[in-house]
Amino acid sequence: MKSNIEAFLDLVKERNGQEPEFLQAVQEVAETVIPYIVEHDIYYGRNILLRMVEPERALTFRVCWVDDSGEIQVNRGYRIQMNSAIGPFKGGLRFHPTVNMSILKFLAFEQVFKNALTTLPMGGGKGGSDFDPKGKSDDEIMRFCHSFMSELFRHIGPNTDVPAGDIGVGAREIGFLFGMYKKLRNEFTGVLTGKGLSWGGSLIRPEATGYGTVYFAESMLKTKEEDLNGKDVVISGSGNVAQYAAEKCLQLGAKVLTLSDSSGYIYDSEGIDADKLAYVMNLKNVKRGRISEYLENYPHAKFVKGKTPWEVKCDIALPCATQNELHEADAKMLLKNGCICVSEGANMPSTIDAVHAFQKAKILYAPGKASNAGGVATSGLEMTQNSLRFNWTRDEVDLKLKSIMSNIHDACIEFGTEEDGYINYVKGANIAGFVKVADAMLAQGIV
Ligand code: NDP
């Protein structure tokens, strides 16, 4: 006899067999949420999870633009509007050549639970394009963003769907997207988050995902009467999330040993201090260079080509690059080297086997949907400020971010603490997120 979980996953596979990342995200949720549904009559027999895995709407569209040499380029644009039970669809846009339906559906599905955890009224969505911003001029980026928005604008709005950034979509891209939306709609509204400060953005939004990931690590460490001070930290990625995770680690007295990009990682045994981090920020955000160029200024560091940093001995690991960047063998290596805490800045960076290895060893492990929720939470705060036509100070936003991360940690403890006292953060995050969305769906009937 098949278990409830197997039967459910078979059904989802039948409909979405070509979407491995989406199936992986669904499996991770099903493993913890289905046993909970079975034990709770109000959810049992209502096919709620089956309804949740089906997007309310999934759009693909043509994006044509002209490159600097006059050639016509064609990309594919997407928006997945996954679930709006508790608020307008909300979630980032990713521009990366690997973008496809599977990746965006996994991200949109995770977003539903993450947004519910923030306690703010935001549904879940995600979108993007297979467009590769690497090596493109600013003018090419602008023409692409304008073309992308010339279709997307029909489907979004401050009360319908509010996109933000993600991989390949930062302040520059949000500016171009916002400009075209405003022109087409002839209105200035908070339709995108991650905006510049002078035109509706929120203080702390750029920092929020990275800072929040570290605040969550702090809360986890506190359960073991530990903190970040003096700890060795290994970070992957060198984009928005990685940069600000590193900054917060330094502020809390930790030593950051690594950063990476898709070509490999740098290891600085002396630690990447504030000056070195400023160099990286300029290298990545202004010069748009590669992380290996770190060695041009700091030749004592090592660049390890084509590898991820999980082989470096550390106390804390913060995966902040992309999905499935930390495999079972990496997890075992981290454990062997004494790592006690993993807080995910990226979405689904650890494979299911890697997650199981962390849980079996009973170390502190937080899935991205809990630990990286600070980004979307602060986007929610940006939406609130836009509605109020008012700006909070840096300290006010940071305080709210801290409090939201701490509440998410509490929710994980409430729903994820096992009989022996081990906090299963995956279970806690999944069930807490599920309960909020499922209750709203039940109240609204079968729509
Ligand atoms: P950025 O585009 O700013 O940076 C991405 C970083 O990850 C770069 O260093 C990039 O290297 C690396 N990377 C991307 N793809 C791969 C890959 N296939 N293999 C190895 N390295 C890769 O993105 P963000 O920092 O915004 O996003 C990082 C992660 O955090 C993503 O998983 C995203 O979904 C998640 N996240 C982001 C939020 C945000 O607010 N920005 C909110 C919540 C989660 P390279 O330059 O070589 O591509």
Residues enclosing ligand 1, CB less than 6 A? Answer: 165-168, 170, 209, 237-242, 261-263, 320-322, 325, 345-347, 372, 375
Distance 257 CA to ligand 1 centre (A): 18
Q: Which of the 8 DSSP states describes residue 311?
A: G
Distance 70 CA to ligand 1 centre (A): 30
Beta strands in 340-400 (DSSP E): 341-343, 364-366
Amino acid in position 329 = A
Domain 57-187 and domain 208-366, same fold? Reply is yes
Residue in 104, 117, 131, 167 to alter for ligand 1 test, most ligand atoms within 8 A of Cβ: 167
pLDDT confidence tier of residue 281, bands split at 50, 70 and 90? very high
CATH architecture type of domain 208-366: 3-Layer(aba) Sandwich (3.40)
The alpha carbons of the chain give a radius of gyration, in whole angstroms, of 21
Among protein residues, the one whose CA lies closest to atom 21 of ligand 1:
262
Nearest to 148 by CA among 205, 201, 203, 95: 95
- pLDDT tens digits for 384-409? 999 999 999 999 999 999 999 999 99
Distance 210 CA to ligand 1 centre (A): 11
- pLDDT tens digits for 404-424? 999 999 999 999 999 999 999
- pLDDT tens digits for 65-92? 999 999 999 999 999 999 999 999 999 9
Full-model pTM: 0.97
Structure confidence at residue 133 (pLDDT)? 96
**pLDDT averaged over every residue in the chain:** 97
Residue 400 is among the residues annotated as catalytic for this protein: no
So where are the chain's domains? 57-187, 208-366
- pLDDT tens digits for 347-380? 999 999 999 999 999 999 999 999 999 999 999 9
Arithmetic mean of pLDDT, 12-24: 96
Atom of ligand 1 nearest to the CA of 194: 40
Distance 166 CA to ligand 1 centre (A): 7
Share of the chain above pLDDT 70, in %: 100
Measured CA to CA, the distance from residue 117 to residue 430 in angstroms comes to 9
Q: What is the CATH number of domain 57-187?
A: 3.40.50.10860
Structure confidence at residue 1 (pLDDT)? 64
Atom of ligand 1 nearest to the CA of 170: 3
Share of the chain above pLDDT 90, in %: 99
Q: Single out the catalytic residue among 105, 114, 126, 231.
A: 126
Structure confidence at residue 58 (pLDDT)? 98
Asked whether the beta carbons of 145 and 180 are under 8 A apart, the reply is yes
Torsion, CA 79, CA 209, CA 133, CA 292, rounded to 10: -150
Structure confidence at residue 270 (pLDDT)? 98
Structure confidence at residue 288 (pLDDT)? 93
pLDDT confidence tier of residue 2, bands split at 50, 70 and 90? confident
- pLDDT tens digits for 313-339? 999 999 999 999 999 999 999 999 999
Asked whether the beta carbons of 225 and 262 are under 8 A apart, the reply is no
- pLDDT tens digits for 180-223? 999 999 999 999 999 999 999 999 999 999 999 999 999 999 99
Distance 167 CA to ligand 1 centre (A): 5
Amino acid in position 380 = G
Measured CA to CA, the distance from residue 308 to residue 161 in angstroms comes to 35
